[in-house]
Amino acid sequence: MPQYFYAYHNKKNTSAFNPSVGYGVSSETKRNRVKVGDFVFVIQKLNERGPFELCGLYKVTGHYNENSGDYRYRLRLAKTQMNAEPIPIDEGALSQELPQLSSYQNWSNFKRHFCKQGASLRQPLSSEVVSILSEMMHHSATAEYQTSTELRDIEAAFQDQVGKSKELTSAERRLRLSSARKKPETRSVMVRTYVRNPDVVAEALHIADGFCGNCKRRAPFLRRSDGSAYLEVHHRVPLAEGGEDTLENAIALCPNCHRKEHYGA
């Protein structure tokens, strides 16, 4: 009878888990605990701000060794019919579902199960944990186990990965690019956004009369849709920080000044 294991793709990695290259560990003994025909749930966390994600359930199809590297004892993996897009994990909700553990008291119950040092492939998962993770995958389209995500958090997570890439040399980046996928993967997420008052936007644009409220220059181009001056309405105090969706808190900016407000020094 096949056994089920857990593997962690942690934030030291600069890209999402790719099952086509398998999964590696530093110990041959640990790798060999997992037999061909067993299954592995893979959970990843790519940066500090992003959520944990359940990447999927994979079937072990073989073992192989690389000549060098910290994780050269590897498993070959194949996707199962249960696999879909990575599922953002609500750490609190899943902590309630999982059997309660008492170790590491300052950790969430989820982390006690999955984030201990060397936990990957250490031992088979209990039938209860397997059932919970399998059910989560079956119902991944529902909101019950998923975290809502703000667009700014998605952008922040991407910029965090860009920052890590900048720490590499050009030669190291080009080597990685030589074997990288040429078309980006897609991912479905739940997005939390604000239902803004259209009157605030329309009136702010009317007051601006085609000129940026910051640099005072004319809008750089006209909208293709209606020929109006292209400006973007910005909230001086962001809505996510408690700012009001009012005319007093809004200003029409050119795209350059708008980006400067969000990302400039």
d(CA 145, CA 251): 38
In order of 114, 134, 150, 194, 244, the CA distances from 232 in angstroms are: 44, 44, 19, 16, 17
Question: Taking all residues of the chain, what is their mean pLDDT, rounded to a whole number?
Answer: 85
In 3D space, the residue among 123, 154, 128 whose CA is nearest the CA of residue 53 turns out to be 154
* Strand pairing report for 73-79 and 53-65: antiparallel
- Give helix then strand counts, H and E, for the chain: 8, 10
Most confident segment among 113-122, 134-143, 189-198? 113-122
What is the pLDDT, as a whole number, of residue 162? 80
- Which of 37-40's residues contact partners 24+ apart within 8 Å by CB, and which partners? 37/2, 38/2, 38/3, 38/4, 38/5, 39/2, 39/3, 39/4, 39/5, 39/80, 40/4, 40/5, 40/6, 40/7, 40/75, 40/77, 40/121
The pLDDT of residue 136: 83
Mean pLDDT of 249-255: 96
Please tell me whether residue 244 adopts helix, strand or coil conformation: coil
Position 141 scores a pLDDT of 45
Angle in degrees, CA 60, 63, 66, rounded to 5: 130
The percent of residues above 70 in pLDDT, for the chain, comes to 90
Q: How far apart are CA 164 and CA 136, in angstroms?
A: 31
The pLDDT tens digits of the residues spanning 36-67 come to: 999 999 999 887 777 889 998 999 999 999 98
**Domains of the chain (ranges, CATH numbers):** 4-146 (3.10.590.10), 154-191 (no CATH), 195-263 (1.10.30.50)
Q: What amino acid is encoded at 195 in this protein?
A: V
Closest by alpha carbon to 42, among 87, 92, 107, 90?
87
pLDDT tens figures, 167-200:
889 988 888 888 877 877 666 565 666 778 889 9
CB neighbour list of residue 102: distance below 8 Å, 6 or more residues apart: none
Q: What is the pLDDT of residues 75-107, one digit of tens each?
A: 999 988 766 678 888 888 889 889 998 887 788
DSSP string, 150-168: EHHHHHHHHHHHHHHHHTS
pLDDT for 149 equals: 61
Residue 26 contacts by C-beta under 8 Å, 6 or more apart in sequence?
A: 70, 71, 72, 73
Query: What's the pTM value of the predicted model, to 2 decimals?
Result: 0.55
Q: Which residue's structure tokens are 């605030």?
A: 200
